[in-house]
A and B are shown apart, each in its own frame.
Chain A
Amino acid sequence: MKNPCQQAKAPILAVEGLAVDYRLRGSSLPTIRDVSFEIQAGEAVALVGESGSGKTTTAMAIAGLLPPNAAVSGGEVRYRGDRLPIDDDAAMRPHRWSEISVVFQGAMNALNPVHRIIKQIAEPCQLQLGMSRDEAIARARELLELVGISAERGRAYPHELSGGMRQRVMIAMALACSPSIVIGDEPTTALDVITQAQILKLLTALRSQLNLALILITHDLSVVAECCDRVMIMYAGRLVEDGSVADIFANPKHPYTKLLIESIPNPEHGKRMVRPIPGDPPTLQHRPSGCAFRSRCPSAMPVCATEVPNLKRWEQGRVACYLHPPMKHEEKALANA
């Protein structure tokens, strides 16, 4: 298990102060703010948050694939120490797919229905790696076997494959140019538990086989327990907590993380109760001042309305909450004033 604080190795990916805005009907809406994290080669990190919290936006920004109405308004992304041109589509091309690759959210339902899957996997190999048609087909067969589909099945059309098989095809496509980092955006959200377990197992196996760094995006915290080293929790466009999987589950610090864990039904807990998090997450148009979670937070204090709490580092990870580190008496009085 890697310690996020240990700076001995240079990270393969470093995201620093990343900020993205969407333009919507003339106004510019801050969507993600101050997103900073590092990932080591071969590490598996989960990015967890409710829908609308900015997970996909973060992934797209890193891969330089933001839609035209989005703008990177701050921060940078470094791959092996070099700054990536994330706001320049053409300049990003040599990096995308061969260094950083994305399995897009919902893309398994967007495969071209009229082409055999082998062709759809071979095409990016031809375009990106300049392979001949035969070489690309050979590579595609290899990739299919890698994700657990027999090469013969490559003749199938997308509709002839189950959801799990189509997701394997998407993973094969993401691996075509041998990237070192794969971002999986909700790769199991549309699948049932059996298929989900199979896909997570596949990603874990590929990770150690190819020494892949993995960013697994999900809204379901329970998914990450068995296949990630570290979890980052996102709320309303900001990281609010970051720590090892074991630590996040055993000892969550941020009130949002605590409530997220409590809202997962857990038979092993023995009691048939869930504690729903009251209210809804804030929309882009109505982001409150200070901590965005305070309207739903059981421990909100007056200070939470004043300023966004910093994502502070502590021995085991990072957390953005005025409760951490615990305040001394005098400070508490001040916060409640």
Chain B
Amino acid sequence: MPDAPDILRLENLQVHFPGRGGVLDHILGRPSAAVRAVDGVDLAVRRGEIVAIVGESGSGKSTLGRVITKLIQPTGGRLLFDGDDVTSMKGFSALRPYRHRVQMIFQDAYQALNPRHTVFDIVAEPLRSLRLVTDHTQLTQRVRQSHAAAGLNPPEEFFARFPHELSGGQRQRVVIAGALAVAPDLIVADEPVSMLDVSIRAQILQVLMDLRQQRNMALLFITHDLPVAWLIADRIAVMYLGRVVETGTADDITFRPRHPYTVALRNATPHVRGHSDREKLPALKGEIPSAARIPNGCRFHPRCPLAFARCREDAPPTIEVGPEHTTACWLMK
């Protein structure tokens, strides 16, 4: 895996939304600050690799997923897919080949499914709209295969059903089957198991892990749950307020985190079998600031229990702290 070529590469990628500002700003003609949802992300995903993005809500994970799948346009930086610069590619027909290779799975399977369509039509939809297969026998074949790969067995039993006739776990599998039908090289999954019961969650994670084995498909898995990320991912990238603050192997991030924010995330995670002797930093105070008001210096410094003078002034560079392990923190300098 470490030698596999990159399927996805983000270089200083930015998504800034125009700020709306308050009424007062408007009256005084003050420009309102842009919402810097994704604010300079560097990240690579290799062919067949599973990378998890973790961070609390408001850190920009969903926006990152949406810009990678080209549901929105980046406002800066570069987005490379399989070696090609796709940063400014847009429009339905220009994006068709890209959509064929990159698919997105959303958190809420219930909203993602059209209640009036049968499961067959839902799974066949991307194949039809991307005009990947036109022949009916072939279409049925592809839909059946996707059902089976997503764990909907026997496939025929689900074809004629409607979303309301499915359990929550089955609905999420239909969403996965739809994404798989086009045989993508990369799936971006935005919190695909957060709404599911723990027992069903494990089934879906298993389906996704099997897919990588069978199809060598890469997966960018967005979650706020560190144990889930550890379970499914080869590598984890920790995101805070629009930036990646630490990346490393799943084990390094889980057992040897270096950035104080990663440590805080780990400490906030409920653990099941008693306490271990891990170092305890004080719990994080307060809330993540708005992406329209990103603090100067290190963007984490107002909440960081270890912040010192330099953190308030300069943003720390991302440095290597081990093989495949990087972090952006002045303590590591």
Contacts of B56 in A (CB 8 A): 192-195
A157 within 8 A of B: no
Which listed residue (B199, B226, B283) contacts A201, Cβ 8 A? B283
Contacts of B200 in A (CB 8 A): 50, 276, 280
Asked whether A272 and B287 contact (CB < 8 A) given A193-B268, A263-B199, A267-B255, the answer is no
Residue pair B202, A223 in contact (C-beta under 8 Å): no
Contacts of B254 in A (CB 8 A): 267
Q: How many residues of B contact A (CB 8 A)?
A: 39
Interface residues of B in 202-236 (CB under 8 A from A): 202-203, 205-206, 224-228, 230-231
Q: How many residues of A contact B (CB 8 A)?
A: 42
Residue pair A221, B198 in contact (C-beta under 8 Å): yes
* Minimum CB distance partner of A277 in chain B: B199
Residue pair A196, B230 in contact (C-beta under 8 Å): no
Which listed residue (A165, A222, A260) contacts B287, Cβ 8 A? A165
How far, in whole Å, are A249 and B270 apart by their CA atoms in the complex? Answer: 13
Contacts of A260 in B (CB 8 A): 198-199
A87 within 8 A of B: no
Residue pair B225, A193 in contact (C-beta under 8 Å): yes
A3 within 8 A of B: no
Most-contacted residue by chain B among A201, A250, A274, A277 (CB, 10 A): A274
Q: Please choose the segment from B95-103, B163-171, B182-190, B311-319 that sits at the chain A interface, where 4 or more of its residues have CB less than 8 A away.
A: B163-171
B35-64 CB contact bits vs A (8 Å, 1 = yes)?
A: 000000000000000000000111000000
A275 within 8 A of B: yes
For the complex, would chain B's binding face be called helix, strand, loop or mixed by DSSP majority?
helix
Residue pair A193, B224 in contact (C-beta under 8 Å): yes
Contacts of A249 in B (CB 8 A): 272-274
B280 within 8 A of A: no
A134 within 8 A of B: no
* Minimum CB distance partner of B228 in chain A: A265
Distance between A246 CB and nearest chain B CB, rounded to angstroms? 8
Contacts of B167 in A (CB 8 A): 280-281
B32 within 8 A of A: no
Contacts of A263 in B (CB 8 A): 198-199, 201-202
A82 within 8 A of B: no
Distance between B211 CB and nearest chain A CB, rounded to angstroms? 15
B141 within 8 A of A: no
A38 within 8 A of B: no
Most-contacted residue by chain A among B198, B228, B231, B270 (CB, 10 A): B198
A189-211 CB contact bits vs B (8 Å, 1 = yes)?
A: 00111111110110000000000
A220 within 8 A of B: yes
How far, in whole Å, are A272 and B52 apart by their CA atoms in the complex? Answer: 15
Residue pair A194, B272 in contact (C-beta under 8 Å): no
Interface residues of A in 250-279 (CB under 8 A from B): 250, 259-261, 263-269, 272, 274-277
Which listed residue (B206, B270, B284) contacts A276, Cβ 8 A? B206
Residue pair A164, B287 in contact (C-beta under 8 Å): yes
How far, in whole Å, are A182 and B272 apart by their CA atoms in the complex? Answer: 24
Residue pair A220, B198 in contact (C-beta under 8 Å): yes
How far, in whole Å, are A223 and B197 apart by their CA atoms in the complex? Answer: 13
How far, in whole Å, are A269 and B225 apart by their CA atoms in the complex? Answer: 16
Most-contacted residue by chain B among A192, A197, A261, A280 (CB, 10 A): A192
A28 within 8 A of B: no
Residue pair B270, A222 in contact (C-beta under 8 Å): yes
Residue pair A266, B198 in contact (C-beta under 8 Å): no
Contacts of A266 in B (CB 8 A): 227, 271-273
Contacts of B199 in A (CB 8 A): 50, 259-260, 263, 276-277
A47-67 CB contact bits vs B (8 Å, 1 = yes)?
A: 000110000000000000000
How far, in whole Å, are A277 and B199 apart by their CA atoms in the complex? Answer: 6
A135 within 8 A of B: no
A226 within 8 A of B: yes
Contacts of A288 in B (CB 8 A): none
B269 within 8 A of A: yes
Contacts of A265 in B (CB 8 A): 202, 205, 227-228, 230-231
* Minimum CB distance partner of B250 in chain A: A272
* Minimum CB distance partner of B207 in chain A: A276
Residue pair A192, B57 in contact (C-beta under 8 Å): yes
Contacts of A310 in B (CB 8 A): none
How far, in whole Å, are A191 and B202 apart by their CA atoms in the complex? Answer: 20
Asked whether A193 and B273 contact (CB < 8 A) given A260-B198, A263-B201, the answer is no
Which listed residue (B197, B198, B224) contacts A192, Cβ 8 A? B224
Contacts of A281 in B (CB 8 A): 167
Contacts of B139 in A (CB 8 A): none
* Minimum CB distance partner of B264 in chain A: A194
A163 within 8 A of B: yes
How far, in whole Å, are A275 and B202 apart by their CA atoms in the complex? Answer: 7
How far, in whole Å, are A201 and B224 apart by their CA atoms in the complex? Answer: 19
How far, in whole Å, are A255 and B216 apart by their CA atoms in the complex? Answer: 35
Contacts of B225 in A (CB 8 A): 193
How far, in whole Å, are A164 and B268 apart by their CA atoms in the complex? Answer: 14
Residue pair A277, B272 in contact (C-beta under 8 Å): no
A225 within 8 A of B: yes
Residue pair A267, B272 in contact (C-beta under 8 Å): no
Which listed residue (B170, B201, B206, B268) contacts A197, Cβ 8 A? B268
B241 within 8 A of A: no
B149 within 8 A of A: no
B265 within 8 A of A: yes
Residue pair A272, B198 in contact (C-beta under 8 Å): no
Contacts of B287 in A (CB 8 A): 162, 164-165, 195
Residue pair A221, B272 in contact (C-beta under 8 Å): yes
* Minimum CB distance partner of A162 in chain B: B287
A219 within 8 A of B: yes
Q: 5 extra interchain contacts, Cβ-Cβ under 8 A, other than A51-B197, A193-B269?
A: A220-B198, A263-B198, A272-B231, A276-B199, A276-B202
Q: 14 A-B pairs, CB-CB below 8 angstroms?
A: A194-B56, A194-B268, A197-B270, A219-B198, A220-B198, A222-B271, A226-B271, A249-B273, A260-B199, A266-B271, A266-B272, A267-B231, A275-B202, A277-B199
